[in-house]
Amino acid sequence: MSRPLSIVADENMPNLQRLFGGCGNITALPGRAISADHLRDCDILLVRSVTSVDAALLAASPVQFVGSATIGTDHIDRDYLASRQIAFAHAPGCNAASVVQYDLAALAVLRPGWRSARIGVLGGGNVGSRVAAQLAALGAAVVVCDPFLDQADCGQPLVGLEALLGCDIVLLHAPLTTGGCHPTHHLIGAAELAALPSGALLLNAGRGGVVDNRALLAWLSSGAALTTALDVWEGEPQIDSELLARVALATPHIAGYSDQGRSNGSAMVAKALYRHLGLAVGRHNEQRPAPLALGEVDDLNAAIIASYDPRRDDRRLRAALASCRGPAERAAAFDRLRRDYPARLEFDHYAVTSRQPALRTALAAVGFTVTEG
């Protein structure tokens, strides 16, 4: 009789036992702690974004399947997996709605008049395209910068980087790449920051390395009139304390951390694993609860913030790091904030009422369940 499959998984993946328990025996570990020693008898490796999966990790392992419950894959050496004929799956689009919620909430907090601003979105992939479409549906003037898209593939006007940097608000949702025709590593550096209009808002909820954090710190330290919101950082989990002190909104890489976004990632990888193993894809749908009532609202921004207020995450991050005594403690605190992230529901889990027809239309476009009241 063959042994049960051995599964090593990031403990931050929701529903591990329910989704993967039928495939083998699960060992759940902190993502950053997963090492080659843990994988010597491992058949299946399940990660999120903090585990670097490459030859150094897998060379001595019998791993046959790697699943990443994330949109991005910059932490995965896919060429190495292919060379070893190790199957791979990830979860594109799993948390796009969560990131849209984060972006809208950050705009509501930092730029209440965002619907009349010109907004540029860097990256037209699963997340960026959804963000852009949502903003356009709410009446904002939106452009997208993505050299890999043709206008026919993009629902919003496509522009180059120079035009993007002329926008009042710039939202970064590009993957992190270091090679190819259009690498994104440090795409936003000193020259690009200087090209932003005075008073602009720069928000990065994509990948930390797309922005040169040292250049950003220097620019903000110079007194530049730039409002910055960062959910992702170079050097995570050891983020720059000086930069933290100068950004208007700081969160610990949780833009996509809604309950639904994280659960979707696990479920998508589980389906891929079941297919890889030749098993029938299980049904794991949970009964959807009735929407939670937020009551009557008379302002779109107020409704968005009532569903999710990113300032709570900002306060948690600053408080957690302020009490730390060194880089190691700061890194551990950053990871704990992600591991112990509180429940967060997306827009479509809330019901609102309004007597204003135009506001009801906007609330419905965001995703709320809306009644006249």
Separation between Cα atoms, residue 172 and residue 180, nearest integer Å: 19
Please give the torsion angle defined by the CA atoms of residues 164, 168, 174 and 180, in that order, rounded to the nearest 10 degrees.
Answer: 30
Q: For residue 83, what are the contacts with CB-CB under 8 A and spacing of at least 6?
A: none
Separation between Cα atoms, residue 164 and residue 153, nearest integer Å: 18
62 CB neighbour count, 10 Å cutoff: 12
> Alpha carbon 153 to chain centroid distance?
23
Going through the chain in order, the beta strands assigned E by DSSP cover: 6-10, 25-29, 44-47, 65-68, 87-89, 118-122, 141-145, 169-172, 200-204, 226-230, 249-250, 292-296, 350-353, 369-371
Which string of DSSP letters, residue by residue, matches 328-370?
Answer: HHHHHHHHHHHHTPPP---GGGEEEE-S-HHHHHHHHHHT-EE
Separation between Cα atoms, residue 45 and residue 355, nearest integer Å: 51
41 CB neighbour count, 10 Å cutoff: 12
Task: Kindly list the catalytic residues.
Answer: 207, 236, 253
CA max distance for the chain: 69
Q: For residue 74, what are the contacts with CB-CB under 8 A and spacing of at least 6?
A: 175, 176, 177, 207
Three-class secondary structure of residue 69 per DSSP? coil
Only one residue has tokens 């797309």, namely: 210
Which of 4, 59, 50 is CA-nearest to residue 31? 50
Three-class secondary structure of residue 198 per DSSP? coil
Sheet holding 25-29, edge to edge: 25-29, 6-10, 44-47, 65-68, 87-89
For the chain, how far is it from start to end, CA to CA, in angstroms? Answer: 63
